[in-house]
Chain A
Amino acid sequence: MSSVATAPKKGFDFKAFLANNGALVGLVILCLALFIATPRFLTGPNLLNIGIQVSTIAVMAFGMTFVIVAAGIDLSVGSVAALSAMGSSYAITTAGLPDGLSIPIGLAVGALCGWVTGAMSAYGKLPTFIASLAMLTVVRGLTLVISDGRPISTSSSVSWLGDDLGPIPMPIVILVVSGLLAAFVLNRTVIGKNAFAVGGNTEAARLSGIPVKRVLVTVFVISGVFAALSGMILAGRLDSAQPTLASGYELDAIAAVVIGGASLSGGVGRISGTLIGALVLAVIRNGLNLLSVSAFWQQVVIGAVIAIAVGFDVLRRKNVKH
């Protein structure tokens, strides 16, 4: 009721803006603090470095946003990223398929993995947590089987994903393009709006004629495709597909989505929020590196940040609903 009452206020409602963009405010404060703390933060190379760092997690988290909005969770994205990168490299480098197929094959592998996870939970009635947890292990295992536990060098088109486009690194270009695409699909298409409805209230969506199962499968396919893209960026930067690539990244991706204001119970989430969430994580890591904080302590700080960010969000929601 209070949100309705404050909405028609004239001019720019600063308080409402703060309340709705807590993560962005946090990010700005963080950047200001780092700017003051170290001169090395606000330099071109460092900012590009952050951009490259953030791109893999953010691209993965864009796909994750769809799943979380639909009230699911996808723990398999890190493994899917690895298998996609490995699969695309294997097909070209080892099996000798034409180079042009490399990226399509990678994306198809991601889509297929997502489809399997989605089908397991939609038609097999497994909770998404369990279905994707199973896939996390299975897919990582397949990656090791294909590669025999050794890195495979990437095709030239995947390597290109890790290069520069003029002065700008390709990962940042992909980040921007895929972010815009994800936001468009989430907010403007029937697929995206259906995800919100299913996550908000599955039964109400079903009784309105929304194909709930197909929606669930679709969001996992989207998550798989974005994970594959993320994996290929990572492989492109390294010029090789490592069997342990992106392991553990799923947790960062989930953290980015949640810091960005999405609700794990579904129905709420924004791509811009997810990007900010990913940036918060990347900037903190970067800042702590610049300030020479040990990698061990960094983990402590990041964990605390996740708890604080989500804690604020919970408080805010509680206030809105009085």
Chain B
Amino acid sequence: MGNDALLVLDKVCKSFGPVQVIDEVTVEVHAGKVSVLLGENGAGKSTLIKMIAGVHEPDAGRILMDGKAVKIPNTKASEALGIATIHQELNLVPSMTIAENITLGRVPRKFGIINRRAMRQIARDAMDKLGLKLDVDTPVGELGLAQQQLVEIAKALSLDARVLILDEPTAALTKSEIAHLFSVVNTLKAQGVGMVFISHHLDEIAEIGDFVNVLRDGKFIATVPADTEENELVRLMVGRDIDAQFPRVATEPGEQPLLSVKNLSDGMLKDISLEVRPGEVVALAGLMGAGRTELIRAIAGADKYSSGSVAVNGKKLASFDVAAATRAGIGHVPEDRKTQGLVLDASVAENIGYATMASTAKSGLVDRKGQKARAQQVAERLRIRMGSIDAPIRSLSGGNQQKAVFGRWFTAGAKVLLLDEPTRGVDVGAKVEIYELINEITASGGCVLMASSELPEVLGMSDRVLVMSQGRIAGELATEEATQDAIMSLAVSNVHREEEMGTK
């Protein structure tokens, strides 16, 4: 790396109160290169990005743009310097068209009236740069998440962005969508845009990155080439070797099924039957939109189903009744902890206690002491890192928030855990801890049904794999025979319009 860097963060520091979040970190962004930020949750990646985006100003150190020191006190200043950030939560107005979104806040005007022709042209030019062929009059809300993301990138480009920050852009995308995104990134590289890329997926880093900046606990660890061995990257990131990324300890499964689903059908789901025995971890694999989340939610009682049955220990459960499922020993860790798993304003203790609040209450009064003691106990057992049990849950990192959702079901004594993307947005260290929790459940005679889009997780943590395709169970694989190819060929079986599925 020479001195031709587009953007340099030079030994920047930042602290919030007594906590030093960023400690002399140096990161360079070069034109036409992808600079990866790698680190566990809480390593300081997002604070760093916020410095570039103008949300936080560094306490010490310099930010250089084209070799000149600049100040970025607010997001407007960042935008003026040609920096654009694509956040995980997209900044688009769903009810407005692609063209309106791309020109939002700077609508071309003629005699004070919106010049729709110019507006469309601006949008089309931006879309062309990315090689996208979408009608710019389509409302953004009608697009899939992947396409929305591309619209957001197009919007950034039409603002003449030279530095593009992509904050976990692949987290919610399918394989084919990721491939498309990466081809767009390569197009941008060729156009000389410098990019910062954040991802928890190590395999993506080698594919798309040029070099990797590793952060740990707010400190700069190293800059290494992107083709560095994955194990080495993990070692740099975590500071120690992770012996086993997937510490699955198989348990001899029991005879009688603990969870049995028979002929479950509902719009999306078609005649699903499956059994999970005590001690087993069964993974649900498949493409996005194959019906995994729908199946998990139907079993958990979160959604209605029209026919079929769900039974725990041979006892049938009422449909669409979360409370009944909970009483039967089902625990549901939903897909998105922020919108479905947690009450963010409430404390850690309250969030852990929701499933047991009513059952432990005496004549309608909450058992406050008991609830707190139980939460404290489970928090210690799951090693939830927090200020205190009364701290608001939003102050915890993603991995620890996820552990709190697990903790809720541990407290409730759940025997059947339904996990929907259990490690999404969770860093490597906390991932391993969550896997250990899965082991604990099966060792104590419980069972796990886990929907996951992460193939390594499916292969590494399950005893059997059920592959779903278009709302059906397309096939079952023993973990030994489950390979990426075997799973994918089942996942796309009887998918006639594969491409459409992939982009939905």
Which residues from chain B contact A205 at a C-beta distance below 8 Å? 343, 354
How many A-B residue pairs lie within 8 Å, measured between CB atoms?
A: 98
Binds B, one of A121-129, A165-173, A192-200: A192-200
Quick check: is A1 within 8 A (CB to CB) of the other chain?
yes
Q: Quick one: which of A4, A207, A321 contacts B300, CB cutoff 8 A?
A: A207
Assembled-state Cα–Cα distance A18/B429 (Å)? 40
Chain B residues with Cβ below 8 Å from A196 are 343, 346, 350
Tell me whether A203 and B339 are in contact in the complex, defined as CB-CB below 8 angstroms, given that A4-B391, A5-B18, A189-B366 are known contacts.
Answer: yes
Residue A211 lies at the interface, judged by CB distance under 8 Å to chain B: yes
- Cα–Cα distance between A209 and B342 once the two chains are bound (Å): 13
Residues facing A in B323-372 (CB within 8 A) are 323, 325-327, 332, 334, 339-346, 350, 354-355, 357-358, 361, 364-366, 368
Chain A, interface SS category: helix
Report whether A204 and B387 are in contact in the complex, using a CB–CB cutoff of 8 Å. no
Name A265's closest neighbour in chain B (CB-CB): B345
Q: A190 to B354, Cβ gap below 8 A?
A: no
Q: How far is the CB of B349 from chain A (nearest CB, A)?
A: 11
Scoring A3, A201, A206 by chain B CB atoms within 10 A of each residue's CB, the highest score goes to A201
In the complex, what's the smallest C-beta–C-beta distance from B414 to chain A, in angstroms?
11
Pick the contact of A5 from B19, B326, B341 — CB < 8 Å? B19
Contact of A208 among B322, B364, B391 (CB under 8 A): B322
Pairwise interchain contact A2-B357, C-beta atoms closer than 8 A: no
The answer to whether the Cβ of A191 comes within 8 Å of any Cβ in the partner chain is yes
Please, how many residues of chain A have a CB less than 8 angstroms from a CB on the other chain?
A: 30
Q: Mark B8-31, 1 if CB is under 8 A from A, else 0.
A: 000000001111000000000000
Inter-subunit contact B325/A209 (CB<8 Å): yes
**In the complex, A2→B357 CA distance in Å?**
29
Contact with B along A1-13 (1 / 0, CB 8 A): 1111111000000
B96 an interface residue at 8 Å Cβ cutoff? no
Closest CB in chain B relative to A19 CB, distance in Å: 15
Using known A-B contacts A189-B365, A190-B364, A200-B346, determine if residue A207 contacts B341 with beta carbons closer than 8 Å: yes
The CA-CA distance from A191 to B361 in the complex, in Å, is: 11
Contacts of B394 in A (CB 8 A): 321
Complex interface residues of chain B between 290 and 323 (CB less than 8 A to chain A): 300, 302, 322-323
Given A203-B340, A208-B322: A1 and B16 within 8 A (CB)? yes
Name the B residues within 8 Å of A268 (CB-CB).
345
Q: Which chain B residues (236-256) contact chain A, with CB distance < 8 Å?
A: none
Cβ-neighbour of B345 out of A4, A209, A267 (below 8 A)? A267
Chain B residues, CB < 8 A from A206 = 302, 322
Which residues of A lie under 8 Å from residue B334 when comparing CB positions?
Answer: 203-204, 207
B366 touches A190 (CB 8 A): yes
Whether A2 and B16, one on each chain, are in contact in the complex, defined by CB atoms closer than 8 angstroms, is yes
Q: Does B395 contact A (CB under 8 A)?
A: yes
CB distance from B233 to the nearest CB of A (A): 28
The residue of chain B having its C-beta at the shortest distance from the C-beta of A321 within the complex is B394
Q: B355 is contacted by which of A2, A194, A208, A211 (Cβ under 8 Å)?
A: A208
CA distance A6 to B17 in the complex (A): 9
Name the residue of chain A whose CB is nearest to the CB of B325: A209
If the complex has contacts A1-B17, A2-B16, A4-B395, are A208 and B408 also in contact, measured as CB distance less than 8 A?
yes
Q: With A7-B387, A209-B323, A211-B323 known to touch, is A204 a contact of B19 (CB < 8 Å)?
A: no
Considering only CB atoms, which chain B residue lies closest to A322 in the complex?
B16
Of the residues A1, A2, A4, A189, contact of B364 by C-beta under 8 Å: A189
Distance between Cα atoms of A197 and B325 in the complex (Å): 19
In angstroms, Cα B366 to Cα A54, docked, is: 31
B359, closest chain A residue (CB): A209
Residue A188 interfacial (CB < 8 Å)? yes
- The answer to whether B343 touches A200, judged by C-beta atoms less than 8 angstroms apart, is yes
Instruction: List residues of chain A with CB within 8 A of the CB of B332.
Output: 207
- Is the C-beta of A210 less than 8 angstroms from some C-beta in chain B? yes
A209 in contact with B19 (CB, 8 Å): no
Residue of A6, A190, A322 with most partner-chain B CB within 10 A: A190
Q: Report Cα–Cα, A32/B239, bound state, in Å.
A: 60
Question: What separation, in Å, do the CA atoms of A264 and B344 have in the docked complex?
Answer: 16
Q: State the Cβ distance, A250 to closest chain B Cβ, in Å.
A: 25
Contact with A along B390-421 (1 / 0, CB 8 A): 01101100000000000010000000000000
CB distance from A2 to the nearest CB of B (A): 6
Alpha-carbon distance between A3 and B408 when the two chains are bound, in angstroms: 25
Chain B contacts of A191 at CB under 8 A? Answer: 364
**A207 in contact with B340 (CB, 8 Å):** yes
B302 to chain A, nearest CB (A): 6
A211 to B6 CA separation, bound complex (whole angstroms):
55
Closest CB in chain B relative to A211 CB, distance in Å: 6
Q: Is the CB of A190 within 8 A of B322?
A: no
Q: Least Cβ distance of A45 to chain B in Å? A: 40
- Could you write out 22 A-B pairs with CB less than 8 Å apart? A1-B19, A2-B17, A4-B391, A4-B395, A6-B17, A7-B387, A189-B366, A190-B357, A190-B361, A190-B364, A193-B357, A193-B366, A196-B350, A201-B339, A204-B334, A204-B339, A204-B341, A209-B325, A209-B354, A211-B323, A267-B343, A268-B345
Identify 6 new A-B residue pairs, CB closer than 8 A, beyond the known A190-B361, A268-B345: A4-B395, A188-B368, A203-B339, A204-B343, A209-B323, A209-B326
User: 4 tightest A-B contacts by CB?
Assistant: A200-B343, A208-B354, A209-B326, A5-B17
A residues sitting closer than 8 Å to B (CB atoms) are 1-7, 188-191, 193-194, 196-197, 200-201, 203-211, 267-268, 321-322
